[in-house]
Structures are given as C-alpha cells and as structure tokens.
Chain A
Amino acid sequence: KQEVTQIPAALSVPEGENLVLNCSFTDSAIYNLQWFRQDPGKGLTSLLLIQSSQREQTSGRLNASLDKSSGRSTLYIAASQPGDSATYLCAVEDQGAQKLVFGQGTRLTINP
C-alpha cells in the first residue's frame, strides 16, 4: 500500500530565503507525482506534474525533482515571498491506479 510522507509538517522562514520541501513515498512503481498548493479554506492548485520518466520540472521560482528509485521528491522554492504562504501537498499516482495518494502536507509561512 502506497504511503506518502512530507517533511517538515510546518516551516516558517523569512522572506527572500530559498527553501526545500520534501516528499517521500514507499512504492517506487509510480506513474507520476504532482505538487499542489492549498490556501486556507480553498481548493488545490496544481503547481508541477512530474511523469515517472522525468527527473524534474520547473515553473517560475519553483523546481520539483523526482528520484523514483529512492522514493523521493523535493520542491524547491527560490526567493520566497509572503504570497507563497500556503500548505503544499505532494501526491503520487501509482501505475494502473488512476487515483492520487496524498501526503499530509507542509504548512509554509513566509514572514515579511
């Protein structure tokens, strides 16, 4: 059974810092991995999708990497801003499953 873990559960940093959020998964037979952002009381916004054959994806200040063999993904946020404050969720889709398994999320606070 796939399990997804995100560390740390919460992170608070001053504005301008570069930071890394971690995601690990127990079964490496995944189809893809997706990072989402969730603002309080709101829905999920897709940030980056990495197919299992890819090593990384970039969008603006965000870069996500995938090491399928070790069951790890990282989300790198460059030059953080207060508007980046949100909960970041990592989710994997197992091969043949067509559903996502989510981590518990990392609650990120960027202090002005």
Chain B
Amino acid sequence: NAGVMQNPRHLVRRRGQEARLRCSPMKGHSHVYWYRQLPEEGLKFMVYLQKENIIDESGMPKERFSAEFPKEGPSILRIQQVVRGDSAAYFCASSQDLNYGYTFGSGTRLTVV
C-alpha cells in the first residue's frame, strides 16, 4: 500500500499562472481532504471531498481555488492566477471512515515567484 500519493512534490509558478496539485488517496479510502500550511503557521482545513462530491469547502478561499475528486483518477486542487500569498505547503489526507483517523501525504510545496 503506497499510502497517500501527492504530486508534484515541488511546484514553482509565476504570478498569474495556474497551479494543479494532485492527490491519490490510500487504497480503499473514499474520503479526501486538502489542508494548507502557510509559512510559520499551522495547518488549516480547506476542503473535504468524496467521489464526485464536495462535502465541505468551508476553508477554501472564495476565489481562484477549486477542488474536484472525479469518479476516476486523483483528486485535483486547482489554483488559478496564483499570487505570492499562495506560496505554501498543500497537504492531502484520506480516510476510510471516522474510526480510523487520517493518513496524510508528503505534501506539495508551491512557490510563486
């Protein structure tokens, strides 16, 4: 079991470009979560998805950010027109159900130049 797989590990984008971050959950896990860790800050919840459904997006910025978890393939976190303040580590987690806790991926470190 390869665990939660995130790619790329590092991503550099110029201001105004789009960033696409991918996450494949652990085998058998149907719940996917995205968290953001800004420099010198704690991890903050962004969005919770199940296959083809956004369950809770209360932590997502209202503009430029979107997430999906299609029927086939990985979950995608998309950031349009990136700005320097988007530079952060973005972590994906998955869970089987409420009783087993969360498993996190290694993260994608986004740098906006």
Contacts and interface: CB of A to CB of B under 8 A. Distances in A.
- Asked whether A and B interact, the reply is yes
Interface hub of B103, B104, B105 (most chain A Cβ within 10 A): B104
Interface hub of B48, B93, B101, B104 (most chain A Cβ within 10 A): B101
B52 interface: no
Interface residues of B, number: 26
Given A34-B101, A46-B101, A49-B100, A99 B45 contact: yes
A105 B37 CA distance: 12
Instruction: Bin chain A's interface residue count.
Output: 20 to 34
Interface string A98-109: 111111110000
Contacts of B91: 43-44
Contact of A99 (B56, B100, B103): B56
A32 interface: yes
Contacts, number: 56
Contacts of B56: 98-99
Contacts of B2: none
A43 B101 contact: no
Chain A interface helix/strand/loop/mixed: strand
A43 B106 contact: yes
A34 B98 CA distance: 12
A89 interface: yes
A104 B41 CA distance: 7
Chain B interface helix/strand/loop/mixed: strand
B25 interface: no
Interface string B28-57: 000101010000011111001000000110
A36 B104 contact: yes
B102 A46 contact: yes
B98 A98 contact: yes
Interface of A: 31-32, 34, 36, 41-46, 49, 51, 89, 91, 93, 98-105
20 contacts: A31-B98, A32-B98, A43-B104, A43-B105, A43-B107, A44-B43, A44-B93, A44-B104, A46-B103, A46-B104, A98-B55, A98-B98, A99-B59, A100-B33, A100-B35, A100-B93, A100-B102, A102-B35, A104-B41, A105-B42
